Amino acid sequence: MPELPEVETIKRELAPHVVGRTFASVTICDDKPIKQPEPERFCQNLAGQRIDRLERRGKYLIFHLSSGQALIVHLRMTGALLLNPRDPNHARVIFHFDDSSQLAFTDRRRLGAIWLAEDAKAVTRKLGPEPLEAHFTTEILAKLLQKRQAPIKAVLLDQSLIAGIGNMYADEALFLARIHPLRQANSLSHQEVQELYQAIRQVLQKAIDSKGASIDTYKRPGGATGAAHQDFHVAHQKGKPCPKCFTPIERLPIRNRGSYFCPRCQAI
């Protein structure tokens, strides 16, 4: 599933190709992803609009348009945005630009979502702070955790608390901080919160530098894959030796999500 590093990579790599371009038309091959407005009006309203800038908010990619509206894309599990693809598999929506270039939204599992909204905040307003922004501090993380008895892994995945962290990077951050994913969030000491804060930022920034992780279907706009998964310590590494202590990595379900961890380095 594309998480913060993947969506940030897509934003950075799309921007030089689409900012300043105008939508000429839209081809909807499957209207399931279109959440608002209804498909016919979606196409009509988008045609003729210029893309002024791109923004990422959590796992959402936001195209800010010349009318003041926002085109918002959430890739969910298997979505991708591909520039000028040849016969793309599972194409759901194809955006045609004024220079004859195309941007295809592909989605094998049909779980992605697209909105054309008057204000992006109508879709993203419930998101928590951005973990790589300067205003996200150790103190803010501590306040988010102090009243929550849920497992720390589940809390990190709650997008209303912190925006953009998904399954893979939560596992990696918890490993670096040596915290078991089942630890009760409000049981973390001040030192553990500091270490988790640093681990979150380190893991996310490193993944951005590596252009995201191509575990399954993630592709960058040009069709290339990312390399962040090559540096994973525990995520998707079940049975492999821990890189620190050589104990086999284990997997357990937490709130219906698979969690990978080292039972020795992250002893509960």
- CATH number at 202 reads 1.10.8.50
CATH number at residue 57: 3.20.190.10
Average pLDDT rounded to a whole number, residues 240-256: 96
Mind listing the pLDDT tens digit for each residue in 35-63?
Answer: 999 999 999 999 999 999 999 999 999 99
Same-domain status, 152 and 113 = no
The pLDDT-based confidence of 217 (bands split at 50, 70, 90) is: confident
Distance CA 30, CA 220 (A): 22
The fraction of the chain above a pLDDT of 70, given in percent, is 100
Same-domain status, 143 and 120 = no
The verdict on residue 41 lying in a domain is: yes
Catalytic residue among 3, 8, 172, 195: 3
Structural domains counted in the chain:
2
Residue 257 annotated in active site: yes
Task: Please give the angle made by the CA atoms of 237, 239 and 242, to the nearest 5 degrees.
Answer: 70
pTM greater than the 0.85 cutoff: yes
Catalytic residue among 59, 92, 153, 220: 59
Mind listing the pLDDT tens digit for each residue in 127-157?
Answer: 999 999 999 999 999 999 999 999 999 999 9
Catalytic residue among 206, 240, 257, 264: 257
Same-domain status, 119 and 143 = no
Check: CB of residue 182 under 8 Å from CB of residue 254.
yes
The verdict on residue 185 lying in a domain is: yes
Residue 129 annotated in active site: no
Same-domain status, 147 and 250 = yes
Same-domain status, 149 and 114 = no
| DSSP 8-state symbol, 192 | H
Radius of gyration (C-alpha) of the chain in whole angstroms: 19
Range of the domain at 63: 4-124
Residues in CB range of 256: below 8 A, 6 or more apart: none
Same-domain status, 107 and 154 = no
Same-domain status, 188 and 106 = no
Mind listing the pLDDT tens digit for each residue in 62-91?
Answer: 999 999 999 999 999 999 999 999 888 899
The whole-number pLDDT of residue 88 equals 87
Residue 3 annotated in active site: yes
Same-domain status, 249 and 164 = yes
- Return left, alpha or beta for 251; rule: phi > 0 is left, psi -120 to 50 is alpha, else beta: beta
